[in-house]
Amino acid sequence: MSLRLRLRGLWNKGFTGLSVLAVVLLGAALLIVLAPMLYRGFQAVVFVETVEFRKMAFWELGRGDEQTLQAEIAAVQAAREPVYALLDRFSRGIDVERQIGQARELYRRYGEKLRAEQTPREEYTDKRARAKELRDALTDAYEAQDAVTAKEHLQAVLSRADEPWVRDTMLREYVEMARDYGEVIATIDLGRRQEYAQALDEVKAALRKLLGPRPREEVPALAEDRYGATRWDLAQRDLKRLLYDEQWLQEQPGQPLVRKWVPRTAPSQFGGTALEPLFGVVETHLEEMLRPRWRFYWQYFIDGSTPGHFFGGVGPEVLGTLLLTLCAMLFAVPLGIVSAGYLVECGGDHRMVRIIRTCINTLAGVPSIVFGLFGLAFFVLIVGRPCVLAASLTLGLLVLPVIIRASEEAIRAVPETYKEASLALGAGRFRTFVRVILPAALPGILTGIILSVSRAAGETAPILFTGAVFYGDVPRSLFGQTPALSYGSYGIATGDRIGMEMPHQQYGMVMTLILLVLLLNLAAIAIRHRVQKRLRG
């Protein structure tokens, strides 16, 4: 007998240990999955910002002090000017069409000035002819395909530099243009001008991505193009794109291409040219150009975002998710509890009730995309357009089977003596259900509601075509469409450009959804605990 008791005790301890191990493994699995996601998500809230972020926060979100920002912008522009000067100087030797256009424009303005001064006709003709000689010589230098020919034409301009009709007039700009071009072509191979032009466009694009548009440039239409790197981690990424050229090279014949990062200071790029110092200046003085500092961006949870979710927060998505979840629960909870009460108290155990229970169990396992397609084909057709009402009704149908089954089990778990005592005191069946059975079953019903809230808040497929939008404000009525966290994260994940350029936005949205679901669950658990405590009291 004692041996049997010992074996039973060992079995009990073994099953208890396995249960604890299962819980530990489940917790470890959740930690392994959620920890990296939450870590990356918190980078949307805690990060090292740049002056570009402060510009975005002021101009897009109306947050910050204008005087302080303007002083900071002036300081960073002073640090960036040497970079732009090097870029402009080299561009003048590559973008010859623009230089030719400037030379012709200068010739036209010179003629207008002579006419405005009422220059005598013979003198006017002579000065215009001389100016035309300078213009043509400079134009020929720009169009030359070899350095020797170009220098000959440039010398024709530079030889006139000290003559009074050039030195004391606006024609001295021709001399300055000739000197600048002469310095540039001394460091480049004019035969590679097209190659330089293509690489220069890449450098300009990378520099614009890093530092934003230059002063006095036309303001881009898209918010994503109005600012440079708003975060220091993005700045480091963009700096690499500026300093290196990504190339796919074949190291050996017959082998697949291999990605190589070729420095732009290499001889095959801009090595030995007038642009080579630019890359060292940017790398050395990047902190002066962007002024990074730590930021706790708690407004991420309440701010709206710019189109495309490149900047800003997830405030509308949080409110939209709460709106969809609340409306779904308002539809599903009463209907689920009434249905469960009918099946337990009035349905009996005949064949039709068993069929209904089988259908409910089947619906609980149907993929969510099926509910989404049903909502698109039914609710959207009835309402006439995708909207919050159609999406919340679809979500309500999705969680309804879970609420019915949980409520049914909770009602069935209420001791029969409660019902018998109420009926014996003269209460009717309906009053007994409402005043006795339902309150006693409420903790179990709340458990089903907790599971349903989590699923309704995190589903994407049911709202994909029924009422969610990727970007927008929370609607003022149930007949408008709303942004949601689940749909927003899905949109960023499928939009390769957004996910690549702003990965913290995607993880931040997922983190916010996880935290929101946890808060909703904690609130429901707290309510369930109070109900249980009241019932025990």
Alpha helices in 186-275 (DSSP H): 193-211, 232-243
Per-residue pLDDT of 253-267, as tens digits, reads: 777 777 788 888 888
In sequence order, the β-bridge partners of residue 245 are 262
Predicted local confidence at residue 536, as pLDDT: 67
Predicted local confidence at residue 293, as pLDDT: 93
Predicted local confidence at residue 239, as pLDDT: 92
Predicted local confidence at residue 287, as pLDDT: 92
Token pair for 130: 């001389």
- Which contiguous run of DSSP H or E holds residue 280? helix 276-284
* Alpha-carbon gap, residue 391 to 462, rounded angstroms: 7
pTM of the model: 0.80
CB atoms within 10 A of CB 500: 9
Q: What is the dihedral of CA 403, 406, 411, 412, to 10 degrees?
A: 140
**Composition of the chain by helix, strand, coil, percent to 5:** 70, 5, 25
Domains in the chain: ranges and CATH: 75-190 (no CATH), 315-536 (1.10.3720.10)
Burial class (CB in 10 A: 0-12, 13-18, 19+), 427: middle
CA-based end-to-end distance of the chain: 42
By residue count, the chain amounts to 537
CB 199 within 8 A of CB 14: no
What string of pLDDT tens digits covers the 537 residues of the chain? 566 767 777 777 787 888 888 888 888 887 887 888 888 888 889 999 999 999 998 988 888 888 999 999 999 999 999 999 888 888 877 777 888 888 888 888 888 888 888 888 888 888 888 888 888 888 888 888 887 888 888 888 888 888 887 777 888 888 888 888 887 777 777 777 788 888 888 899 999 999 989 888 888 888 888 898 999 999 999 999 999 988 877 677 777 777 788 888 888 888 888 888 999 999 999 999 999 999 999 999 988 888 778 888 888 999 999 999 999 999 999 999 888 888 887 877 778 888 888 888 888 888 888 998 999 888 888 888 899 999 999 999 999 999 998 888 888 888 888 777 887 878 778 888 888 888 888 888 888 888 888 888 888 889 988 988 888 888 888 888 999 998 888 888 876 566 677 888 888 898 999 888 888 888 888 888 887 777 665
Closest by CA to 268, choosing from 294, 247, 287, 251, is: 247
Predicted local confidence at residue 498, as pLDDT: 66
| Phi, psi of 249, deg, nearest 5 | -120, 150
Token pair for 164: 């009074």
Predicted local confidence at residue 97, as pLDDT: 81
CB 364 within 8 A of CB 405: yes
